[in-house]
Amino acid sequence: MNEDIVKVENLTFYYTNDDEESEAASDRKYVFRELNLSVEKGSFTAVLGHNGCGKSTLAKHMNAILLPCGGKVYSAGFDTADDSALFDIRSHVGMVFQNPDNQIVASIVEDDCAFALENMGVEQSEMRRRVDEALKAVGMYEYHLHSPGQLSGGQKQRMAIAGIIAMRPDCIVMDEPTAMLDPAGRREVMKTIRRLNGDGVTIVLITHNMDEAAQADRVIVMDKGNIILDDKPTEVFSNVELLRSVGLDVPQSTELMYLMKKSGFDTDVHIIDEESCANALFDILNA
């Protein structure tokens, strides 16, 4: 039986008005009401949704940055509400944020990568080995003595990922890691994500980019704190009208197939990649 690295059971979470001391239900702004989902170990799951749908709030629950107001979240088997398990949770489930500058704590790349290991009390020679391996894994070893200020946005994000990799987590939760990057930087980071997942690391990618989500094994679509779709990318993106109704697009290849189908052509709206789209167009033109 497959093992779940993250399990969310009846998660309820809300914010209250900081200016008022009242705990009345009318003062609560709910993000989730009894949300349930699980993430299988070794999988690559993308979480999609419009701004404000709850996807970043969900990511922070996976790493115990936020705690449930009701229900439970288990990360790597640990209850996130258990204060004594916080070190274990963050050792097993790492977090990469949208802005890499917010995670930089040192003036040299390799020192930044070693920061968490120093806090964990990792022995010096082991730390050296882990830092070198992590920087090589993301293609950043040649910059190990550089200042982060000399790096591009994509390089900084890969450096942030290296710092998490060095901790040897089972799962990495990434909260829109490419949102602030140019196309070249996005490609660098996505290549790194795919390589990590290929090596067995569980990836949870929070994104609003359809083409990035299409590279995952599983896509979860959220709207107003609820899961409205949860399936393989080909199945999720075939729901063009539903996705549009919640302010989301679909991959360009799917959009083209959808428009052609509406125009009377016999096309497959489950196509999500350019190569399959090109082959489908070739078949139509030569039919």
Residues 12 and 152 in one domain: yes
Specify the higher pLDDT residue, 45 or 27.
45
pLDDT, tens digit, 9 for 90 and up, residues 16-37: 876 555 556 667 889 999 999 9
Residues 106 and 190 in one domain: yes
DSSP state of 148: G
Among candidate residues 174, 209, 230, the one with its CA nearest the CA of residue 35: 230
Strand (E) or helix (H) holding 125: helix 124-137
Range of the domain at 261: 251-287
Number of domains the chain contains: 2
Task: Give the whole-angstrom CA distance, residue 156 versus residue 153.
Answer: 5
Residues 131 and 107 in one domain: yes
Residues 45 and 106 in one domain: yes
Residues 205 and 159 in one domain: yes
Sign of CA dihedral 144, 146, 149, 152: negative
Whole-number mean pLDDT of the chain? 90
Residues 186 and 278 in one domain: no
Residues 69 and 110 in one domain: yes
Residues 263 and 121 in one domain: no
Task: Give the whole-angstrom CA distance, residue 237 versus residue 176.
Answer: 19
Residues 90 and 112 in one domain: yes
pTM: 0.88
Residues 256 and 193 in one domain: no
**Given this model, what pLDDT does residue 1 score?**
46
Residues 96 and 132 in one domain: yes
| CATH number reported for the structural domain that contains residue 19 in this entry | 3.40.50.300
